[in-house]
C-alpha cells in the first residue's frame, strides 16, 4: 500500500475480521492505523453492497495479500460469502488483474487444485515468498522487493526493482 501511494495510485482496503486480528498481531495498533491511513477508502468485509461488489466500478486491479486458503477456495469456486470474495469475482468476470498472494505452507492437494482453478479463471497466483538473488540486507528489503514485484504484475514499471542479469561471470 505504501508503494502504491508513492507512485500516486489510490488504494482501497477491504479487510476481514480475521485479517484485522492478524494485522493487529503482526503490525500492532500503530501499524493498523498506518494501514488504514494509506487507504483512500476502507470497506467492511461484510458490506456486499459496497462499490467493489460491482463490475461497473472501474477499479484497475485487486490484490489479496495475504490470501488465506479459505479465501482462495471461495474465489476458485465462485463463492461470494463476503465483499472480498465478491470483488475478486468481479475482477475475474471483467478480466481485470487479480493477484492472490497466499502465504500458508505447506500446501495440500486441495490448496493446489484451488490455486490452479483460480489461475484458470484468470487470477495470478504469487505466493508471498522472499527472493535472495538481489542480496537483500533486511526483511524490509525483502518486503519491498515483493511489493515491487506485485506492482509489476499490476502493470507498473518499478525502475528500482532489481532485474535478474544472469549469474556473474557467465
SS3 for 114-158 is HHHHHHHHCCEECCCCCCCCCCCCCHHHHHHHHHHHHHHHCCCCC
**Beta carbons of 99 and 63 less than 8 angstroms apart:** yes
Domain 2-49+60-153 carries which CATH code? 3.40.50.1950
What are the tens digits of pLDDT across the range 1-26? Answer: 999 999 999 999 999 999 899 999 99
What is the band of 42 on the pLDDT scale with cuts at 50, 70, 90?
very high
- What span, in angstroms and rounded, lies between the C-alpha atoms of 97 and 90? 10
pLDDT tens, position by position, 47-97: 999 999 998 988 999 999 999 999 999 999 999 999 999 999 999 999 999
- pLDDT band with cut points at 50, 70 and 90 for residue 135: confident
- Which bin fits 101, alpha (ψ -120 to 50), beta or left (φ > 0)? beta
Examine the pLDDT at 162 and tell me if it is beyond 80: no
Tell me the percentage of the chain whose pLDDT exceeds 70. Answer: 100
Taking the domains of the chain in order of start, what are their residue ranges?
A: 2-49+60-153
Amino acid at each position: 500500500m505504501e508503494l502504491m501511494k508513492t507512485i500516486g495510485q489510490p488504494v482501497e482496503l477491504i479487510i476481514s475480521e480475521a485479517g484485522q486480528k492478524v494485522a493487529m498481531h503482526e503490525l500492532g495498533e500503530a501499524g493498523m492505523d498506518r494501514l488504514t491511513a494509506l487507504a483512500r477508502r476502507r470497506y467492511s468485509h461484510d458490506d456486499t453492497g459496497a462499490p467493489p461488489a460491482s463490475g461497473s466500478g472501474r477499479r484497475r486491479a485487486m490484490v489479496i495479500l495475504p490470501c488465506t486458503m479459505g479465501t482462495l477456495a471461495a474465489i476458485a469456486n465462485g463463492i461470494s460469502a463476503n465483499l472480498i470474495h465478491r470483488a475478486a469475482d468481479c475482477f475475474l468476470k471483467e478480466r481485470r488483474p487479480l493477484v492472490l498472494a497466499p502465504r500458508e505452507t505447506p500446501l495440500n492437494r486441495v490448496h493446489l487444485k484451488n490455486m490452479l482453478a483460480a489461475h484458470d479463471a484468470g487470477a495470478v497466483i504469487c505466493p508471498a515468498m522472499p527472493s535472495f538473488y538481489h542480496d537483500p540486507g533486511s526483511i524490509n528489503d525483502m518486503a519491498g522487493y515483493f511489493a515491487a514485484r506485485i506492482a509489476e504484475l499490476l502493470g507498473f514499471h518499478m525502475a528500482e526493482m532489481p532485474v535478474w542479469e544472469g549469474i556473474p561471470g557467465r
